[in-house]
A and B are shown apart, each in its own frame.
Chain A
């Protein structure tokens, strides 16, 4: 199994701030990485795939980067609607997810 370690587990930030969430894979996943946003009681929503490709309809303040085993999701100019949990998921092997990051407003 490919293990995904996500950090931080929780994050508090102010409106307009830039936040970064990290994800580390236990082996090289060759950019086979997606990021999801999940709000309470809702299903996950795809933000990024192939590590850095923005899914249709996702605001451009979201971006993904990384390679090898290290990946990150950046949210520029944090908006109130961005309060949610975020998960990384690798698909180089059968899908596995990071532990999640809960983003709150400061």
Chain B
């Protein structure tokens, strides 16, 4: 079955960067799209961007350009998201999710990674 396993919670200092991972199994990663989302607890969900594992092509929400960088490692079927120049406003739960076919609904989600930015 399809599984998306995200890396563990992170506590990082303001100004630092963090790299989150989303290890997948149960489907053909190399021909799939992966999206990433941000959710501050108790609030709604924001789409950060999407990457096509086949060629590494990306698309970003304008709001997160310069903040998030999406990459993949097809040899390990893992997607990554780098978050840079972190501030307290970046404290949130971040999810990876695989898009449906052929449209951008999301049937498979990781369990989420809590990022806390604090000095």
Q: Spell out A's residues near B (CB within 8 Å).
A: 32, 34, 36, 42-46, 49-50, 55, 87, 89, 91, 94-100
A99–B44 CA distance with the chains assembled, in angstroms: 5
Q: Are A97 and B100 in contact (CB under 8 A)?
A: no
A43-B95, A43-B112, A94-B59 are known contacts. Are A100 and B106 too (CB-CB below 8 A)? no
> Which of B61, B105, B106, B107 has the most CB atoms of chain A within a 10 A radius of its CB?
B105
Q: Is B118 an interface residue (CB 8 A)?
A: no
A48–B43 CA distance with the chains assembled, in angstroms: 21
A4–B80 CA distance with the chains assembled, in angstroms: 28
Q: Are A87 and B44 in contact (CB under 8 A)?
A: yes
Contact with A along B55-93 (1 / 0, CB 8 A): 000010100000000000000000000000000000000
With both chains docked as a complex, state the minimum distance between the C-beta of A26 and any C-beta of chain B, in angstroms.
Answer: 15
Which B residues lie within 8 Å of A46 (CB)?
100, 105-107
Which A residues lie within 8 Å of B107 (CB)?
46, 49, 55
With both chains docked as a complex, state the minimum distance between the C-beta of B103 and any C-beta of chain A, in angstroms.
Answer: 5
Which B residues lie within 8 Å of A45 (CB)?
109
A55-B107, A89-B105, A91-B104 are known contacts. Are A98 and B44 too (CB-CB below 8 A)? yes
With both chains docked as a complex, state the minimum distance between the C-beta of B66 and any C-beta of chain A, in angstroms.
Answer: 17
Q: Is B116 an interface residue (CB 8 A)?
A: no
A77–B28 CA distance with the chains assembled, in angstroms: 39
Q: Are A44 and B106 in contact (CB under 8 A)?
A: yes
> Which of A44, A95, A97 has the most CB atoms of chain B within a 10 A radius of its CB?
A95
With both chains docked as a complex, state the minimum distance between the C-beta of B47 and any C-beta of chain A, in angstroms.
Answer: 4
Q: Are B45 and A87 in contact (CB under 8 A)?
A: yes
